[in-house]
Amino acid sequence: MTETAHRETAAPVVRTVHVKCAPGSAFALFTGRITDWWPLQRFGLFEGETLGVWFEGERLVERSRSGEEGVWAEVLEWSPGSKLVLSWHPGTPAADATVVEVEFLADDDGTRVVLTHHGWEKLGELAAEARGSYAQGWLSVLEGYGVLVGREA
């Protein structure tokens, strides 16, 4: 792969959704009610054993019925109604964190929520270092990081 192609492939993942409420409400629902909207059965650490996931101080924590806890993220910026920045490492050590930014932008009929995931390509590189094989490495990252990803309900 050329350097240019590599940079493009590794550019931040940016996804957008529009909600009808104002940015203040959108931010409050996004952060305060995450247990109620996040697809925990599919994208969670504890499957059917999960109690939920909450912001507790500077951390975002999922808890299970049997008392286990899994830290998904630390808060890097908390700007109600405008921006949330997280050091994101669900299912992996904090050292493997990447950065997830969520912006809440007012528009004519509500809020545009723009999520930007920076540095995610590091997941593949970390795995490659650990396993010595890139192809094997990213698969294991999808599995490890991916305790949150792609699990069927």
Pick from 111, 118, 110: which is nearest to 14 by CA?
Answer: 118
Mark 108-127 with x for binding to other proteins (rule: CB under 8 A) and - for no binding: --x--x-x-x--xx-xx---
Residue count at the site for other proteins (CB under 8 A)? 46
Instruction: Closer to other proteins by CB, 4 or 66: give it.
Output: 4
Straight-line distance from the first to the last Cα atom of the chain, in angstroms, rounded to the nearest whole number: 36
The answer to the question of residue 148 lying near other proteins (CB under 8 A) is yes
d(CA 15, CA 55): 22
3 part of the interface to other proteins, by CB under 8 A = no
**Which residues, 6+ apart, have CB-to-CB distance to 82 below 8 Å?**
23, 27, 103, 104
Under the criterion CB under 8 A, does residue 33 sit at the interface with other proteins? yes
Q: How far apart are CA 74 and CA 31, in angstroms?
A: 13
Question: Contact residues for other proteins (CB under 8 A)?
Answer: 1, 6, 9-10, 13, 15-22, 25-26, 29-30, 33, 36-39, 42-43, 110, 113, 115, 117, 120-121, 123-124, 134-139, 141-142, 146, 148-152
